[in-house]
Structure 1
């Protein structure tokens, strides 16, 4: 059985349709399952955001130690500073750290304001990510969800969303690649390959992104398929029913593999450890096929 067929069957066994692309960073050999189909990026887009931040720091346009006061009105839902009861002061580089390590939407929103939202589409075009489009940061995407469900505040949204039928949820713009920040699995592995080869900008900027991606705390998706001494650096992205992750697995022999998986589950459950672990198995199977 071909590797792609085996992986597709594994995903089907947990009720998932997936877009996958795995490529050898240095020689370009690849394994793919519909790698050019448009997908919702969700928080995977933060790789591009932090790369732009790192490039501006290295170019001297931003001071990574610049202080930012995070107030109540800045806080968005999700992990990280959204749970703080008081104002928090952090540096720009700490915003980048929180955005990557725990996918902090508040940190990403503030960082995007500082680097300039118009820079990300320009960066995607410069790097040849032809199918990638950025329509806003976490705040804009959240605003679109509120508007689509008819909520004006977080409290109203919390009261409305749990009662929505599944078809109404899937109809939200945030689930449609044509109406939200989107890309393809191949675009994401191209982005990662450029970063790991030091070709996505100055080498210190690429190294900064690699280091930050290596600090993500979530391990149940792609990293679950690999054991030390393989080093895995990733960035995840999630919405109800969407399980996304992109990253790079580095082997002790120096070979490196860029991996992007975008899994769409039949159910809207946010926590599906079976789906996450299947992503790790798929990543490992694809890499092993390339190493064979």
Structure 2
């Protein structure tokens, strides 16, 4: 089945880019189209954090405190009932492993939104934009809902956005950078196995980061085969917004990722 047919079968539009690390070989489907980052923004955030730690600008053991005012609701400390504190490196772990929005907010406060933007510019990712931390995107949702207008958070031209090709370029840089080693470990600890990971056989290791909003389901990651070959994959979908729980779309993301990688391996 073709990549486009995989997405059409579940009623969504798909955008994909797959690239073998260390090689010019790639496969794409609308890979230069703008797409909403959603929680995938936590990957460049964590990468910039790791770079600042490597440069001695931040102490990963420094602690942050989560109060009621910080909690947005959701997974991890964002949904806690009580106040808690943890280190910056644990904030990064929470942001990538369970997509904790509050941990990401606090990490953005220390790392700096402008510094994340500078990282993207340094890597030549000119079509990747970061509006701000998760709380900033939530603020636009609250404002737009109150005004009864379309949500900016779902429009790649008005919120944090990227392209699939730029996300595999980000992964390529991250996997080649010694400073990125902690980020690769945190992505390997992601608990969401229902998208990219589900598409590959168990002997293939997948390190990834999902992103989800109404009608938007994403994941970027690197699949490592037993022979040592590594493949950066970025998959974004739009559609199917009637409910957040659409396991058929999740499976299609993994199937499309595996199909693209198999094309590269053949």
Q: TM-score, normalised by structure 1?
A: 0.89
SS at match of 1:28: coil
Matched, 1:187 2:166: yes
The answer to whether the 8 Å contact 2:240/2:246 transfers is no
What's 1:121 paired with? 117
Q: Tell me which residue corresponds to 1:159.
A: none
Q: How does 1:158-237 map to 2 (within 5 A)?
A: 171-198=150-177, 203=178, 205-237=179-211
Matches of residues 37-48 of structure 1 in structure 2 within 5 Å? 37-48=33-44
Q: Distance in 2 between matches of 1:82 and 1:245?
A: 21
Q: CA deviation at 1:126?
A: 0.2
Larger radius of gyration between Structure 1 and Structure 2:
1
| Match in the other structure for 1:278 | 252
Structure 1 unaligned residues grouped into runs of 5+: 152-163
Tell me how far 1:130 sits from its aligned partner.
1.5
Q: 2:217 aligned to 236, 243, 253, which one? A: 243
Residues of 2 paired with 1:267 and 1:149: CA distance?
16
Q: What SS class does the counterpart of residue 113 from structure 2 fall into?
A: coil
Q: Deviations over 1:49-81 (max 9, x none)?
A: 000100011111111001111111111122111
What CA distance in whole angstroms lies between the structure 2 residues aligned with 1:173 and 1:28?
35
Matched residues in 2 for 1:118 and 1:144: separation?
19
TM-score, length of structure 2 as denominator length: 0.97
SS of 2:259's partner is helix
Q: CA contact under 8 A between 2:20 and 2:264: conserved in structure 1?
A: yes
- Residue number in structure 1 paired with 2:235: 261
| 1:8 paired to 2:23 | no
- C-alpha contact 2:219 2:234 (8 A) present in aligned 1: yes
Q: Report SS of the residue matched to 1:243.
A: strand
2:58 is aligned, of 44, 59, 62, to 62
Task: Report the number of matched residues.
Answer: 266
Please, which of 19, 35, 40 is the counterpart of residue 15 of structure 2? 19
**Whole-angstrom CA distance in 1 between matches of 2:99 and 2:242:** 20
Aligned position for 1:287: 261
Unmatched tracts of structure 2, length 5 or more: none
Q: Residue 206 of structure 1: CA displacement?
A: 1.1
> Deviations for 1:11-64, whole angstroms, at most 9, x for unmatched residues?
101001011000111112111001000000000011000001000111111110
